[in-house]
Structures are given as structure tokens and as C-alpha cells.
């Protein structure tokens, strides 16, 4: 299944409390359960003013629908074309 990286512009994201992050996560999981197994949340990275999320989904439209239903921004949705790590250099 294709993998996507979603850039969500959320001013002050780095200052969200653990409870606020838990609430956001719960909302996302609730929407994902309702949408079915075609879309999967892998992980997210919280930075100062953005959250970068990694999802598996058949297409960008499903990613954007999840964002719409959850009330999350999806400012940039990029399909991953390759994954590299230190072992790629070997």
C-alpha cells in the first residue's frame, strides 16, 4: 500500500500538552475506525508549528477525507517514492 507524509500546519503544535495530543490522537483513531482498514496511521512527528504524519492509504483522496472528517489541516500530502536509511549506503 502506498505511504504518504502529511504536513499539517498547526501554530504552537510544539506547545500542545500531552492531554491535547491524546485528544487529537483519539479523534484521528475514531475517524480511522469509521473509515475502515484501507487507511492506516503509522506515526507522527510534532515540531514547533507543524505535525508531520505518516499514513498508509491507497490514494491521496482518502488521506484528505480523513483530514476533513477529523477537522485536521492537510496542507501538503506527499506520496513516498522511496525509503532510505543508513543501510542504503552499503
Residues 73/6, Cβ–Cβ less than 8 Å? no
Task: Indicate which CATH number applies to the domain containing 8.
Answer: 3.30.70.3090
**What residues make up the domain containing 54?**
3-83
Question: Tell me: the pLDDT tens digits for 25-41?
Answer: 999 999 999 999 999 99
Rg of the Cα atoms in the chain: 14
What distance in Å separates the CA atoms of residue 27 and residue 76, rounded to the nearest whole number? 20
Let me know if residue 90 belongs to a domain: no
| Structural domain contains residue 75 | yes
Q: How far apart are the first and last CA of the chain?
A: 26
The reply to whether the predicted model has a pTM over 0.85 is yes
Domain membership of residue 24 (yes or no) is yes
Query: How much is the pLDDT for 26?
Result: 97
Q: Domain count of the chain? A: 1
Cα–Cα distance measured from residue 29 to residue 48, given in angstroms and rounded to the nearest whole number: 23
89 falls within a domain: no
Q: Which three cell numbers stand for residue 44?
A: 507522527
Task: Decide if 13 is inside a domain.
Answer: yes
For the segment 85-89, the average pLDDT, to the nearest whole number, is 95
The residue count of the chain comes to 90
Give the pLDDT score at 77: 98
Task: Give the pLDDT confidence score for residue 57 in this predicted structure.
Answer: 98
Asked if residue 67 is part of any domain, the answer here is yes
Amino acid at each position: 500500500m502506498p505511504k504518504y507524509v502529511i504536513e499539517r500546519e498547526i501554530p504552537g503544535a510544539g506547545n500542545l500538552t500531552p492531554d491535547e495530543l491524546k485528544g487529537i490522537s483519539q479523534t484521528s483513531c475514531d475517524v480511522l475506525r469509521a473509515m475502515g482498514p484501507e487507511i492506516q496511521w503509522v506515526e507522527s512527528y510534532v515540531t514547533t508549528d507543524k505535525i508531520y504524519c505518516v499514513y498508509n492509504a491507497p490514494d491521496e483522496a482518502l488521506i484528505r477525507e480523513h483530514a476533513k472528517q477529523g477537522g485536521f489541516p492537510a496542507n501538503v500530502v506527499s506520496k513516498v517514492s522511496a525509503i532510505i536509511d543508513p543501510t542504503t549506503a552499503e
